Amino acid sequence: MKVTIIGTGYVGLVVGACLADMGHEIMCLDIDKKKIDKLNKGIIPIYEPGLKTVIKRNETDKRISFTTDKEKAIQFAEIIFLAVGTPQRKDNKADLKYIKQAAADIGKYMNDYKVIINKSTVPVGTAELVRKIVKENLKKPIDFDVVSNPEFLREGSAIKDFMNADRIVIGYDSEKAKTYMEKLYKTYVRTFRPIVFVDIKSAEIIKYASNSMLATRISFMNEIARLCEKVGADVKKVAAGMGFDKRIGPRFLQAGIGYGGSCFPKDVRAFIEMARENKVDFKILKAVEEINEEQKKSLLPKIKKLVPNLKGKKIALWGLAFKPKTDDMREAPSLVIIKQLQAEGAKVAAFDPVAKENAKKLLKDVEFIDDQYEVLKDAHCLVLVTEWDEFRNFSYERVKQLMKQPNIVDGRNVYDHEDLEEAGFNYISVGR
């Protein structure tokens, strides 16, 4: 099928690349000329494992292309994905200005029947809004359908998540659109992966509800971690004991320093606001958000327990991105931790395998080092912020030799406290 993707961010690029890999003809449209120029030169503007390889393979096979030409891209397609950003507004609602502009452009340039797919995370009623805007901008009557097809991609494993999806959710109100969607995703039908067809409003809710449930599990375990610290229990053992219950399962039961990124924080807030507008007081999600923001601040007392006076002391961070395998700094706990440390007068040095350039845009007076050991030179404390694989195993002797004091605060519960204490480190983690 011929498919246009409007928006070349995390979602748009991954969806376009993967659909091309499934044999579809893909045209990616973006208004950012610099970004499109880079993509046409083989430069991928985001870090996502495997994405560059998939795009290069499909460019070679002429199944994917990139353009800023709206008319060309819209008239090319049978199916159009809206994968533009929906940033958070000051009132916590999702900002739909890019969705509205894309819908207007589709109406302006559309030349025959299209299935228009909302792939961006959008509030209930957005499909109706898109339908209305497209109709208002049509130059002549043309039939079209609007479908909701939310994404469930995790940064760092997005290619795998798309190609081996747990499920495909499709909200529709037209049998013709359903036929097009079945054809688009026939690879999933052949491999017996579930395609869940629902009404459009249910599909729009499913994405918010899914992310909010995962965020709730994280905040719940962080509350359990606080209790474990008070009574002397180990939250990792508690999580293991809980996870064997098939009704609960083991995933998203890890305590730490809170969630971040482009989805959970924004979607939780938007879901709370969506509920409020419909006269529902989402008390659980309000608590989830409050706990998460508190948790981002929870490492400073642990650091001060090991280094009581931080003024003039060097604190080294391993990790800046909100999670491993991405360079995304949006809502990253590291931003909160660094500002706290700087307010105490500490000198902050940091190493992250890929997020340095994005971090530089958001942080001042931080020494960015390109080596995970060099960043520890003369440090009074090492703080593990992002659990990159290369941080899981390190030379105890080398680290002790480099550091001024052998203090480690583990914000992700990666290390074994007995091993580190036996090696001569002062070690504090979360909920243990």
Which of 5, 23, 3 shows the shortest CA–CA distance to 14? Answer: 5
Handedness of CA 134, 135, 137, 140 (dihedral sign): positive
Alpha-carbon Rg for the chain, nearest whole angstrom, is 24
* Of 3, 77, 14, 82, the residue nearest 45 (C-alpha): 14
CA distance 212 to 265: 9
Cβ count near 1 (within 10 Å): 16
Distance CA 257, CA 291 (A): 10
* Max CA separation in the chain (angstroms): 76
Does the annotation mark 18 as catalytic? no
Long-range contacts of 32-37, Cβ-Cβ distance < 8 Å, separation of 24 or more = 32/8, 32/68, 33/68, 35/8, 36/8, 36/66, 36/67, 36/68
Beta-strand pair 426-428/347-351: unpaired
The CB-side HSE value for 308 (13 A sphere, CA atoms) comes to 0
d(CA 309, CA 305): 9
Confirm if 291 and 225 have CB atoms less than 8 A apart. no
231 in Cβ contact with 200 (< 8 Å): no
Task: Identify the active-site residue in 18, 28, 228, 263.
Answer: 263
Q: Which two tokens stand for residue 196?
A: 């869940």
* SS3 label, residue 383: strand
**What amino acid positions are annotated as catalytic residues?**
263
